[in-house]
Amino acid sequence: MSARGVTRSTTLAAAACVAAIGIAGAQSPRPYRSNFDIKDYAITIDLPDTGSTVAITDVITVARTAPADTLVLDLLDLHVSRVTVEDRPVTFVQTPSEVHIPLPHPERRGMFHVAVSYGGAVTDGLIVRTDSAGRWTYFGDNWPNRARHWIASIDHPSDKATVTWRVLAPASETVVANGKLLGTKTVRDADGRDRTEWTWRESQPIPVYVMVIAAAPLVRYDLGDTDCGLAALQRCVPQYVYTAPEQKSFAPGPFARAGEIVQLFSSLVGPFPYEKLAHLQSSTRFGGMENASNIFYSDNAFRRGTMNDGLIAHETAHQWFGDAVTERDWPHLWLSEGFATYFAALWQRAARGDSAFRVEMSRMRRTVLADTIAVTKRPVIDTLETNLLALLNRNSYEKGGFVLHMLKAQVGEAAFFDALRHYYAAHRNATAVTDDLQHEMERASGERLDWFFNQWLRRPGYPEVTATWSFDSASHEVLVDVSQSDRFGRYRFPLTIAVIDSTGAAHRATVQMSDTSSAPMQVRISLAAAPASVVLDPDVELLARCTVTRR
């Protein structure tokens, strides 16, 4: 997702060395109701003509994977009126945050069908509001664990399931949901009103936080079939843009290159994982939200004309990283947000060239170095933070993205993308943690990478590098002494030094900085005359704060 207020400018000038990274302490993902695995949700929701009062029946197919006598579902705010197990009513217990449902034969593994009927006024998760024209709209907005406000579920990223949506809505509204539209039909309700029943089916397992519906007076613009020959479930990926009627002329606008974005990521990682890709003007607390096959963008981005292909690329990348391959637990959020941030930068490289890519990486680096809230105090893999919204920080986004950039430089581009393709294939429609990514990088590169993942992801901070230089006119050499501070501990990394002569040509050398020695490293670079300047990390490949001075 893209948090509101996060700028993704690609017009800033590239700088030499800047930025940071880190984290402390390995951990194992904690189990979350591991006795049960929900396989499928079939959710029927009756939306009102006005207001926020809904009626829902949630039919859950659940596997019991270990002995347990009670299925516990997350549910807030709404009142449960009836629960059945295998079509038989059972006595349940509803607490302020959960529904406890007894299951027979607690010692047996196996599948159960549980139906939960409930309703009331929705307060969150499903955003109910009137738009600027006074029309009622309904948009799912679940991240991180707000689905429990309206979906009886195991509301945690470790539990993924398929979902069928059956939505009864006023005939004036268009309904869009995850997956493929199976059909619509007109239904007359008890008050004699004609309503439309929409049925959508997502056939691939997804985390609950990206299970959503949209119901609003939306107008559809067809972007056509894209990614032909590179899709997982059919030959091509149909893409659409849905806007409010007033913004109909907005499309395709920045979505004109949406097909190219999907094709790039498919070629780099693997086939697009879902039945379609829809882009919606919506109500969401985020700038963009990567709901599977159904991306929701902030309403204002359409009304103010600020939508851009960088944001579209970020949210589209989440279809692979976050939706298809989901972080198993919240501390590994960088596997979603860091990937989406870096792949948006890779789109800049493909769309606008290497210079634009370096500009974007430089912006990311400056953003990390400027942060004093998360980067300098907390690791990327943050096992202590309990406020999940606080994880939407510079560690998860820019620092995580820059770690991938450095990892690519460390193992080489061929090994990097080979590892990503294997990582994606191994964990598609499932979950992963950072160790899974490390395993694939080590396999593809033949390198042990514990040191890399530990220093950049499991401790806070970043290297601080100082270089001083002088020119020896007798030997015609530039002498550069390089050292790093121990403010955040010492880091191991290659540092490229470029000496720029009077014609603008760069004379380069690379020194391997040590994480064990405090001794300065000296580099000698031959040059006929005194240089115009000395630059550290000219290609923007290192996350560090660098200072260069002449002696």
Query: Residue 1: its pLDDT value, please?
Result: 87
At residue 364, the pLDDT reads 98
Q: Using the 8-state DSSP alphabet, how is residue 397 labeled?
A: I
Which three-class secondary structure state does DSSP give residue 454?
Answer: helix
Give the Cα-Cα-Cα angle 365, 336, 222 (nearest 5 degrees): 105
DSSP string, 327-388: ESSGGGTHHHHHHHHHHHHHHHHHHH-HHHHHHHHHHHHHHHHH--SSTTTS-SS-SS---G
pLDDT of residue 7: 35
Bridging pattern class, strands 79-85 and 110-121: antiparallel
Q: Contacts for 189-194 with beta carbons within 8 Å, 24 or more apart?
A: 193/49
Burial status of residue 235 (CB atoms within 10 A of its CB: 0-12, 13-18, 19 or more): exposed
Q: Closest Cα to residue 427, out of 321, 341, 291, 331?
A: 321
Q: How far apart (Å, rounded) are the C-alpha atoms in residues 231 and 76?
A: 37
State whether the Cα torsion 426-431-433-434 is positive or negative.
positive
Residue 435 neighbours by CB distance under 10 Å: 12
Does 326-457 match 464-550 in CATH topology? no
Mind listing the pLDDT tens digit for each residue in 356-409? 999 999 999 999 999 999 999 999 999 999 999 999 999 999 999 999 999 999
Q: What is the pLDDT of residues 423-455, one digit of tens each?
A: 999 999 999 999 999 999 999 999 999 999 999
Is 420 within 8 Å of 440 (Cβ atoms)?
yes
> Alpha-carbon distance 69 to 102, whole Å?
6
Query: What distance, in Å, lies between the first and last C-alpha atoms of the chain?
Result: 46
pLDDT computed for residue 31 by the predictor: 56
Specify the pLDDT at position 193.
85
Confidence (pLDDT) at 15: 34
- DSSP assignment of 282-324 equals E--SSSEE--TTEEEEEHHHHHTT---HHHHHHHHHTTTBTTT
CA angle 205, 208, 212 (to 5 degrees): 100
Question: Residue 251's pLDDT is what?
Answer: 93
Report, as ranges of residue numbers, the positions in the chain whose pLDDT lies below 50. 5-30
- Identify the DSSP state of 231: B
Fold (topology level) of 36-266+274-317 = Immunoglobulin-like (2.60.40)
How many Cβ atoms are within 10 Å of 410's Cβ, its own excluded?
18
3-state SS assignment for residue 438: helix
Instruction: Kindly give the pairing relationship between strand 126-130 and strand 174-177.
Output: unpaired
Question: Concatenated DSSP letters for 405-430?
Answer: HHHHHHH-HHHHHHHHHHHHHHHTTE
DSSP 543: B
Strand (E) or helix (H) holding 126? strand 126-130
Q: Is the peptide bond preceding residue 331 cis, with omega within 30 degrees of 0?
A: no
Domain ranges of the chain: 36-266+274-317, 326-457, 464-550
> Which one is the CATH code of 326-457: 3.40.47.10, 3.10.310.30, 1.50.10.10, 1.10.390.10?
1.10.390.10
CATH topology (fold) of 464-550: Immunoglobulin-like (2.60.40)
